Structure 1
């Protein structure tokens, strides 16, 4: 018990000690062994944990404690397939345990072994004949049909079998739960037996469909549509609209079916019912009257209903489409939209409702229409020449709706620059309610406005997302992580908006925060793989069968997420920079699917390709370094080293190709809109020279390897080549450093200018110099043994005339120059830190006359945030470079 508590409180070391104590007394206490293994796993000793767990598993335990502890351990190891083995053994030993059988079923569900789930479900049903177990088995058949590559197989084998299994229960009158009926319906629908599905829903079984509102009617409707039974569609939609005249989907079905019936010249039978669902409308007159009645009925409803009014516009649109609107006197769309605005203009939905119907207005009427709406909004101007402002929220919302419509109708689009600026000014002023703006630079203005807005409405997500984008453009990452966490992104949003965070974190030098934000994103993707299995299992338990295929599709979509692949790659490169080699090695081996959808996607994919190849090249270095000199080539093949250099050379070719594609892509000079997707770092990577530096470093690896296999004699040419590479590398690195020089922030004519590109360049410099050092230490590992051999020879021959090969001098010069360069960069960074600390924002002349105190406060806040963020970036970059400098000093052979 005690060590369980330690584990629960996260005190893993104590848990291990406790377990050891117990094991001294009782050698074969399974459960203690497993708890010890959990402790080991959580302290990063995966291999020991695994070995211990396998010892216990080999004994095929059947006690609950051991089984549950092992399940926990295997889950934390991300090895759910081991749980199935565990319970397969337990079930063999205790064949009548309902509990173990159901654990086995769930274990199969976690790994998606549908065939085995089907068998496990039936085995359970034999022990304990409960309906849910039987239907677990049926659902597993449906899953086999969904996952079958062969469409034919699922139609001829899995689904018919599932259908027969359910029919058996129906015949024996054993159907109990709604979920079982849902499942039957799902099978028939997938078999395209729509008629049979309809009979199930309309029959006695359909009475069980009660949990969702109109569940039965919706399913009937779906089948009527599939069967093209338009009379039924129409009659049912009509009935449902009489119950609730605000339900939009039924208006659509009602109109669809009326016009289908008209086109088929359908007429109702004289004697019997029109249709299974009652009276059918099959003429335009009936439809027009029906809608007019709904509108008349609306006035009697307790709350205003939008449906009937929008339905009238929808009908007009459809009649126009058929070229027969005028004879039905439904009224003028312009007038109807005007009346609609009068009724609902103060509701946020008004714009989205009308947006759909603006194509009913003739373009020549746009301006007049907008003016007509403006005229009825109560706006008050303080003086002749001033902007008229709303007096309350209602008027403000109406005005907002008109502004949105004006924009949609392209009224702003046709203005010249001067008019556009006037509108922007007016809108800003409306936001401020009459506070004039100072003449700052636009970006500070945006930030000021947004920060002020956020202080009034702290949960406005749109303000936050805009702030995130603008701070990132300025290169200030610090305020961003706070903003992002305050968005409290839930679940899938880590995929849909998370990239805003991960794109910028490491590229702006906030390594710690970057690491955290990548982990955050990865945690979501990894746990999603686990969670989805949990949802699927919950769905089995509660019989929500129709959700299961949705979960599977969701999981597949996330696994192929581009953002997932990018975060994985950047996270590992970051780990290498921060020298967590172990980590990076673990995440390798996944390649990235190439799907060029849009430009941004294409660019992201190209950049991801370059990054993941760089990552694989860097991670390949340690595998080369630990090799004993094979003098002859047969040995080389045996110990597999030569295959490793081949891998590296192949990757290098792929990198060259990826870089070429990247350059071609950039030649298009695409400008994404400000609020469009953020561009990748690819352009900077090429233009500042990091790319050429990194590629030539990987070529150098290939040369050094060659020197390693050839030996020092007769390799003057290779040595010369290596010497030249060293020289040009130092030149390139110096160039790259020159592109980092300059102030990140400067005050010019009383305004603040920032240069975030210098920050991105610095970050690339740190990354490139790190790769240079890893290559150098590989070089060092090759040259050291050579040198000690030469020294042994010297001692033997007792003569000083053993000439030192030139490669040693080349290497020494190179390392010395790297050291000087790195020291210079560190000095430059110190300089930046001093400037950033000394910069007094108070001295900015914020053109006092126009700015109000309130506003100055926010401008100062914003600028302070940027300054502090830069300061931390520079500090982190400096720290990292100091570590690199220590490494260089160790390299002098």
Structure 2
């Protein structure tokens, strides 16, 4: 009882410090800690809390010394350890967090709690070997499956991160496999996550037959987190084994359960044409139920797809697009393979496209659905095809007046039709007068269509915005041909009016940013970009639109805040992704851990990240220094080495999203992979130059030191 009373007294004395820290009153927290320590000098938790307050008061060195003093006493009290952990994490010293729990485990080796904290500390550091050892120690203390599989996953991560492929394949993965096999033989595998980890280990060793046995065996019944997950994994294993008849049958069976899954159709067609190329005949199929039939000939596949279309039409409910798209995809593949006889059995491309437009033309996705199949149309039939599509659009015509749609669905059909006409090249050779008439027509339709969005939220995009975007694209294409600056100003006026009507349309704002930068006017760009509320990964994928132009156009003060805000995302990347990895361990989502780590590495190797960092350092020299002494101090802080290039040029990733802008351009004007590669090459060359300027400046500063 006396001991309990002592604890209560300590908690009561510490409470004001906790309250002050929670209220962000660090000065008061320090005062309260000093008050407690005067009464009870051996209360090390108060010292740990004082270290946190000192750190948050920008007294880092004092905080580090005080925390080290507490850590040297090797505390095992939960409150003290938690306070030290918070302090060291805010210092970004994960290694010291691991050290205090190592000391705690030495004192209390049977503590499940301390071992768990130590394991997670190693996760933050990426110490996979120590994770493995700590996981097994945990399992010995508390024989629970999650701890055992934490150790297994740590071995897998060693295999995935080692540069020695032989070590990975000959030691780490076989060891992990044996550990899981032992649990399987002892009938101790309990959760789906454990089965999926087993499959990961087998797949990394390319043991697809063994993986298939796991999926179809008793353990496969635990794969229940997704609908048809077990069947889907079987199909994937058949593909890896190149067992095309079984893969075909399995994907066919899956499509019977969900005829709208586009990815399954792609795998189904891939398996089909492998069977066709290998000369497979129906007589070779294994006997089975009708659900396991192998559709290994083109005629059988055509019949199967037509059945899915017929079933969809009989359904009478809201039609699903999958079967209709699958029919066009099959037609396209047969045409590309030169099997015109089979293609004719499906129908003509124009008829299938018109049927699709008739059923789904009122959906915003219709244009993008139809676009890949426009190449099947004959060039001479394009104009006739578009005219026939217009018969599906019920717009009342009035003498001498522009016919306008009466509802959103009709308007959407017309938008799709105009987009298809542009993509087919029918607007390419319009005279100046005809082109202006088309632009005015689109502008009027956009204005008319705004009435259909009066009840929308401010965050919603107006349904008629595509009209204005198409008008902008047409006028901008004319500017590219003539280089008349007046056209550029007209486009900007059109877009500014569009933003006023549809303030949440990111397409308008991105194009405006591009045009303002083209004119050398950076000031409006920051407001437009901020209004888009670009967050998280979009800082990397969309940042290229304007981040690097602030310095180039001489807006140095705004550039400081722009570069800093973007760099914060990359700086927080490691911390944030570490939290996701820890959550994956806690909840058993082992298959997500390599994905998260790969994502983190892609961000760390982002070209945009390197570019922002170099530009920010150059900017700091310009804005923050006025004499050589300040430049030397800044150079020491940045730790720049003139002779050492820190950028991993061969590993840089191009994370730009170059398809973010809507496009209705003809195929020959679409961005190609070659153009993207050439663009990235130029960006890297520019970064090399800026990096060389920075290192040259560092060399000059070092040489000039007295």
Q: Work out whether the TM-score is over 0.5.
A: yes
Structure 1 residue 297 and structure 2 residue 311: aligned?
yes
- 2:661 matched residue in structure 1: none
Q: What secondary structure, in the 3-state scheme, does the structure 2 residue paired with 1:210 have? A: coil
Relative to structure 2, which stretch is displaced further, 59-68 or 168-177? 59-68
User: Is residue 122–residue 133 contact of structure 1 (8 Å, CA) maintained in 2?
Assistant: yes
- 1:186 matched residue in structure 2: 200
Partners in 2 of 1:406 and 1:281 — Cα distance?
37
Report the CA distance between 1:509 and its aligned residue: 5.6
- 2:646 matched residue in structure 1: 591
Structure 1 residue 445 and structure 2 residue 490: aligned?
yes
Report the CA distance between 1:63 and its aligned residue: 1.6
**Matches for 1:114-263 after TM superposition, within 5 Å:** 114-263=128-277
Relative to structure 2, which stretch is displaced further, 62-71 or 158-167? 62-71
- 1:325 matched residue in structure 2: 340
Q: What secondary structure, in the 3-state scheme, does the structure 1 residue paired with 2:547 have? A: helix
User: Is residue 588–residue 616 contact of structure 1 (8 Å, CA) maintained in 2?
Assistant: no
Partners in 2 of 1:320 and 1:349 — Cα distance?
24
Alpha-carbon spacing, 1:620–1:321, altered in 2? closer, same or farther (3 Å): closer
Alpha-carbon spacing, 1:574–1:4, altered in 2? closer, same or farther (3 Å): farther
Partners in 1 of 2:22 and 2:519 — Cα distance?
44
Alpha-carbon spacing, 1:82–1:419, altered in 2? closer, same or farther (3 Å): farther
Report the CA distance between 1:468 and its aligned residue: 3.0
Report the CA distance between 1:605 and its aligned residue: 3.4
Partners in 2 of 1:557 and 1:91 — Cα distance?
35
- 1:840 matched residue in structure 2: none
Alpha-carbon spacing, 1:445–1:43, altered in 2? closer, same or farther (3 Å): farther
Q: Deviations over 1:472-503 (max 9, x none)?
A: 44555454434333323232111111233432
Partners in 1 of 2:489 and 2:586 — Cα distance?
55
Q: What secondary structure, in the 3-state scheme, does the structure 2 residue paired with 1:488 have? A: coil
- 2:446 matched residue in structure 1: 431
- 1:311 matched residue in structure 2: 326
User: Is residue 132–residue 543 contact of structure 1 (8 Å, CA) maintained in 2?
Assistant: yes
Q: Deviations over 1:264-285 (max 9, x none)?
A: 3334568962499722223333
Q: What secondary structure, in the 3-state scheme, does the structure 2 residue paired with 1:372 have? A: helix
Q: What secondary structure, in the 3-state scheme, does the structure 1 residue paired with 2:328 have? A: helix
Alpha-carbon spacing, 1:573–1:262, altered in 2? closer, same or farther (3 Å): closer
Give 5+ residue unaligned stretches, structure 1: 625-643, 646-700, 709-893
Query: Among residues 577, 592, 608, which one is paired with 1:532 in the alignment?
Result: 577
Q: What secondary structure, in the 3-state scheme, does the structure 2 residue paired with 1:390 have? A: coil
Report the CA distance between 1:578 and its aligned residue: 4.0
User: Is residue 232–residue 276 contact of structure 1 (8 Å, CA) maintained in 2?
Assistant: no
Relative to structure 2, which stretch is displaced further, 353-362 or 478-487? 478-487
Alpha-carbon spacing, 1:331–1:555, altered in 2? closer, same or farther (3 Å): same
Report the CA distance between 1:433 and its aligned residue: 4.2
Alpha-carbon spacing, 1:77–1:36, altered in 2? closer, same or farther (3 Å): same
Report the CA distance between 1:553 and its aligned residue: 0.8
Alpha-carbon spacing, 1:486–1:316, altered in 2? closer, same or farther (3 Å): same
User: Is residue 235–residue 278 contact of structure 1 (8 Å, CA) maintained in 2?
Assistant: yes
Partners in 1 of 2:682 and 2:284 — Cα distance?
66
Partners in 2 of 1:565 and 1:430 — Cα distance?
45
- 1:832 matched residue in structure 2: none
Report the CA distance between 1:313 and its aligned residue: 1.7
- 1:360 matched residue in structure 2: 376
Alpha-carbon spacing, 1:146–1:77, altered in 2? closer, same or farther (3 Å): same
User: Is residue 285–residue 294 contact of structure 2 (8 Å, CA) maintained in 1?
Assistant: no
Report the CA distance between 1:165 and its aligned residue: 0.3
Query: Among residues 393, 407, 425, which one is paired with 1:377 in the alignment?
Result: 393
Report the CA distance between 1:159 and its aligned residue: 0.6
**Matches for 1:386-397 after TM superposition, within 5 Å:** 387-397=402-412
Q: What secondary structure, in the 3-state scheme, does the structure 2 residue paired with 1:379 have? A: coil
Q: Point out which structure has higher relative CO (alpha carbons under 8 A, 6+ apart).
A: 1
Alpha-carbon spacing, 1:257–1:573, altered in 2? closer, same or farther (3 Å): closer
| TM-score normalised by structure 2 residue count | 0.82
Alpha-carbon spacing, 1:573–1:237, altered in 2? closer, same or farther (3 Å): same
Alpha-carbon spacing, 1:525–1:345, altered in 2? closer, same or farther (3 Å): same
Partners in 2 of 1:426 and 1:354 — Cα distance?
24
- 1:567 matched residue in structure 2: 612
User: Is residue 88–residue 97 contact of structure 2 (8 Å, CA) maintained in 1?
Assistant: yes
Partners in 2 of 1:572 and 1:43 — Cα distance?
26
Q: Deviations over 1:609-665 (max 9, x none)?
A: 4444444555677xx6xxxxxxxxxxxxxxxxxxx42xxxxxxxxxxxxxxxxxxxx
**Matches for 1:458-497 after TM superposition, within 5 Å:** 458-497=503-542
- How many residue pairs are counted as aligned between the two chains? 626
**Matches for 1:821-832 after TM superposition, within 5 Å:** none
Report the CA distance between 1:542 and its aligned residue: 0.7
Relative to structure 2, which stretch is displaced further, 442-451 or 329-338? 442-451
Q: Deviations over 1:373-414 (max 9, x none)?
A: 124323345553x54433322222112112222222222334
- 2:687 matched residue in structure 1: 608
Report the CA distance between 1:535 and its aligned residue: 0.8
Report the CA distance between 1:209 and its aligned residue: 0.6
Q: Deviations over 1:788-810 (max 9, x none)?
A: xxxxxxxxxxxxxxxxxxxxxxx
Q: What secondary structure, in the 3-state scheme, does the structure 2 residue paired with 1:62 have? A: coil
Structure 1 residue 98 and structure 2 residue 115: aligned?
no
- 2:50 matched residue in structure 1: 36
Structure 1 residue 542 and structure 2 residue 587: aligned?
yes
Q: What secondary structure, in the 3-state scheme, does the structure 1 residue paired with 2:531 have? A: helix
User: Is residue 197–residue 591 contact of structure 2 (8 Å, CA) maintained in 1?
Assistant: yes
Give 5+ residue unaligned stretches, structure 2: 1-14, 450-467, 473-483, 655-676
Alpha-carbon spacing, 1:47–1:413, altered in 2? closer, same or farther (3 Å): farther
Partners in 1 of 2:352 and 2:514 — Cα distance?
40
Partners in 2 of 1:474 and 1:141 — Cα distance?
55
Report the CA distance between 1:175 and its aligned residue: 0.7
User: Is residue 3–residue 19 contact of structure 1 (8 Å, CA) maintained in 2?
Assistant: yes
**Matches for 1:641-680 after TM superposition, within 5 Å:** 644-645=702-703
Report the CA distance between 1:297 and its aligned residue: 0.8
Alpha-carbon spacing, 1:566–1:588, altered in 2? closer, same or farther (3 Å): farther
Q: Deviations over 1:286-312 (max 9, x none)?
A: 222222221211112221121222222
Q: Deviations over 1:551-591 (max 9, x none)?
A: 11111111111221222233333334443767775344373
Query: Among residues 70, 78, 84, which one is paired with 1:64 in the alignment?
Result: 78
Partners in 2 of 1:160 and 1:91 — Cα distance?
30
User: Is residue 125–residue 134 contact of structure 1 (8 Å, CA) maintained in 2?
Assistant: yes
Alpha-carbon spacing, 1:112–1:587, altered in 2? closer, same or farther (3 Å): same
Partners in 1 of 2:588 and 2:608 — Cα distance?
33
Query: Among residues 23, 43, 66, which one is paired with 2:37 in the alignment?
Result: 23
Partners in 1 of 2:208 and 2:430 — Cα distance?
55
User: Is residue 592–residue 609 contact of structure 1 (8 Å, CA) maintained in 2?
Assistant: no
User: Is residue 231–residue 280 contact of structure 1 (8 Å, CA) maintained in 2?
Assistant: yes
**Matches for 1:543-558 after TM superposition, within 5 Å:** 543-558=588-603
Query: Among residues 416, 428, 448, which one is paired with 1:413 in the alignment?
Result: 428
Alpha-carbon spacing, 1:310–1:499, altered in 2? closer, same or farther (3 Å): closer
User: Is residue 572–residue 583 contact of structure 1 (8 Å, CA) maintained in 2?
Assistant: no
**Matches for 1:706-721 after TM superposition, within 5 Å:** none
Report the CA distance between 1:600 and its aligned residue: 4.0
Higher Cα radius of gyration:
1
**Matches for 1:747-766 after TM superposition, within 5 Å:** none
Report the CA distance between 1:27 and its aligned residue: 3.3
Partners in 1 of 2:286 and 2:520 — Cα distance?
75
Q: Deviations over 1:317-370 (max 9, x none)?
A: 233234333355322111111111111111111111111111211112112111
